[in-house]
């Protein structure tokens, strides 16, 4: 379905034209697409607007090279006035204010006009004035590129690097099955621009610390359980274990995908203690929808093949519960 139409684009263009103070935000635990979409618009708007990016929490080191990344504000209560006084707020790679964690209330209560550009299912109703929401899109960056083109916002080199980062990270370097014709079309239009694409890949994938590499070895050999009968595998990790390897935020990014490299595994999960809760990540191959599992059992949501959630119970309990649910939740996989 085409989500961009002339009426909405004209309305959005008018809101941008009329706005002086713009705030850009994205989901908690920002990934390459959340950062790519906010930083892309920031690098475009900052030339003519009073624009701020405010994110709910920290940025993984892997992305700190991104253009203007050092200008991002990490939310604290003193930033509330930016939301209150904003003329326009963009929710990017974020389908609702609940994904903004401690920023939620201030964002919801702001009288600013609001635009959502996002690819998660079920956008929060009555939050924004305009929605560009397409769960078929591989990345929010794919949508932001099209949005810029239709609104005649010139994508400069800095913005192009950011958008390319979002495409690469949300598609696993164009390999996941969310990658579509449109993804390649946007990538090819960005590729015409003069920036080093391989440098971006190096920044993201070849910049691990020794500790992070060894942590990956450790989880693969010691912390991955495979259930061939259920085509499922999971990895679990306590903070204390991760810290033995000099753990930093972002170091476990991608761990959830590792078990999917096993031919027979169609469903994988990763459980890790973080910020006093258990973060749960789910990935799948094919038709098995992990967002419904994240929603139903793990206080979360996400995309069909990539979702996440959380639990306030101890790690062992969360893992045991997951294992006990396996026969039920994987029945769908076996039926296919
Ligand atoms: P990840 O496993 O990388 O943390 O998240 C995978 C996908 O699920 C992302 O698109 C992310 O936005 C979504 N997701 C992760 N955690 C949550 C959550 O707690 N609630 C919702 N609604 N979505 C989540
Ligand atoms: Mn995304």
Interval 297-307: pLDDT, tens: 999 999 999 99
Task: Provide the whole-model pTM.
Answer: 0.94
Output phi, psi for 80, to 5 deg: -55, -35
Where among 205, 228, 246 does a domain terminate? Answer: 205
CATH code at 193? 3.90.1640.10
Looking at the 3D structure of the chain, how many domains does it have?
A: 2
Q: Is the residue at 119 inside a domain?
A: yes
221 and 199 in one domain? Answer: no
The SS3 assignment for 74 reads strand
Decide which of 148, 175, 205 is a domain's last residue. 205
SS (H, E, C) 43-83: HHHCCCCEEEEEECCCCCHHHCCCCCHHHCEECCHHHHHHH
Instruction: Indicate if ligand 1 lies below 6 Å from the C-beta of 280.
Output: no
Structure tokens at 235: 């990895």
**Shortest-distance Cα residue to atom 8 of ligand 1:** 307
41 and 119 in a single domain? The answer is yes
Q: 128 with 74, same domain?
A: yes
For residue 1, tell me if it sits in a domain: no
Strand partners, 118: 133
Average pLDDT, the chain: 96
CA distance linking residue 163 with residue 197, whole number of Å: 11
Q: Are strands 73-74 and 50-55 parallel, antiparallel or unpaired?
A: parallel
Two tokens at 314?
């101890």
Q: Give the tens place of pLDDT for each residue, 122-145.
A: 999 999 999 999 999 999 999 999
Query: Relative to the CA of 96, which ligand 1 atom is closest?
Result: 22
> Ligand 1 center to residue 169 CA distance, Å?
14
Contacts of residue 80, defined as CB under 8 A and 6 or more positions apart, other chains included, come to: 106
For residues 49 and 21, the answer to whether their CB atoms sit within 8 Å is: yes
User: Is the shortest distance between the CB of 272 and ligand 1 below 6 Å?
Assistant: no
Weakest mean pLDDT among 18-22, 87-91, 217-221, 330-334: 330-334
Q: Are residues 149 and 200 in the same domain?
A: yes
Residue 206 dihedral angles phi and psi, to the nearest 5°: -115, 40
Binning the chain into helix, strand and coil, the percentages to the nearest 5 are 45, 20, 35
pLDDT of residue 313: 97
The side-by-side arrangement of strands in the sheet containing 21-26 is: 73-74, 50-55, 21-26, 88-92, 113-118, 130-133
Same domain membership, residue 269 and residue 197:
no
From the alpha carbon of 120, which atom of ligand 1 is closest?
10
Q: Do residue 238 and residue 182 come from a single domain?
A: no
Range of the domain at 124: 6-205
CATH of the domain at 247: 3.10.310.30
Q: 299 in helix, strand or coil?
A: coil
Q: Strand, helix or coil at 180?
A: coil
Same domain membership, residue 194 and residue 227: no
Where does a domain end: 205, 223, 238?
Answer: 205
253 within some domain: yes
Residues 185 and 143: beta-carbon distance below 8 Å? no
Residues 221 and 287 in one domain: yes
């Amino acid at each position: 379905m085409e989500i961009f139409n002339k009426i909405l684009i004209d309305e959005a263009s008018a809101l941008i034209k009329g706005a002086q103070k713009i705030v850009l935000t994205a989901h908690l635990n920002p990934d390459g697409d959340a950062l790519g979409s906010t930083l892309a618009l920031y690098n475009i708007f900052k030339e003519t607007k009073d624009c701020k990016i405010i994110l709910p929490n920290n940025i993984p080191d892997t992305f700190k090279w991104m253009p203007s990344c050092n200008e991002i504000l990490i939310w604290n209560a003193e930033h509330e006035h930016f939301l209150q006084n904003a003329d326009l707020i963009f929710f990017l790679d974020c389908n609702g204010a609940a994904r903004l964690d401690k920023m939620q209330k201030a964002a919801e209560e702001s009288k600013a006009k609001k635009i959502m550009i996002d690819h998660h299912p079920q956008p929060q109703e009555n939050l924004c004035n305009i929605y560009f929401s397409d769960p078929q899109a591989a990345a929010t960056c794919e949508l932001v590129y099209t949005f810029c083109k239709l609104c005649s916002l010139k994508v400069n080199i800095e913005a192009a690097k950011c958008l390319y980062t979002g495409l690469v990270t949300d598609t696993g370097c164009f390999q996941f099955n969310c990658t579509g014709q449109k993804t390649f079309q946007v990538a090819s239009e960005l590729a015409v621009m003069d920036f080093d694409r391989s440098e971006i890949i190096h920044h993201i994938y070849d910049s691990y610390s020794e500790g992070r590499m060894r942590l990956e070895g450790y989880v693969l050999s010691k912390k991955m359980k495979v259930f061939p009968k259920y085509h499922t595998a999971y990895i679990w990790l306590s903070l204390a274990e991760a810290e033995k390897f000099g753990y930093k935020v972002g170091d476990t990014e991608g761990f959830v995908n590792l078990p999917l490299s096993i031919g027979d595994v169609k469903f994988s999960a990763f459980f890790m203690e973080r910020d006093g809760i258990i973060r749960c990540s789910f990935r799948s191959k094919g038709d098995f929808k992990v967002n419904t599992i994240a929603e139903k059992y793990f206080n979360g949501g996400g995309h069909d093949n990539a979702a996440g959630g959380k639990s306030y119970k101890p790690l062992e309990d969360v893992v045991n519960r997951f294992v006990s649910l396996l026969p039920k939740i994987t029945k769908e996989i076996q039926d296919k």
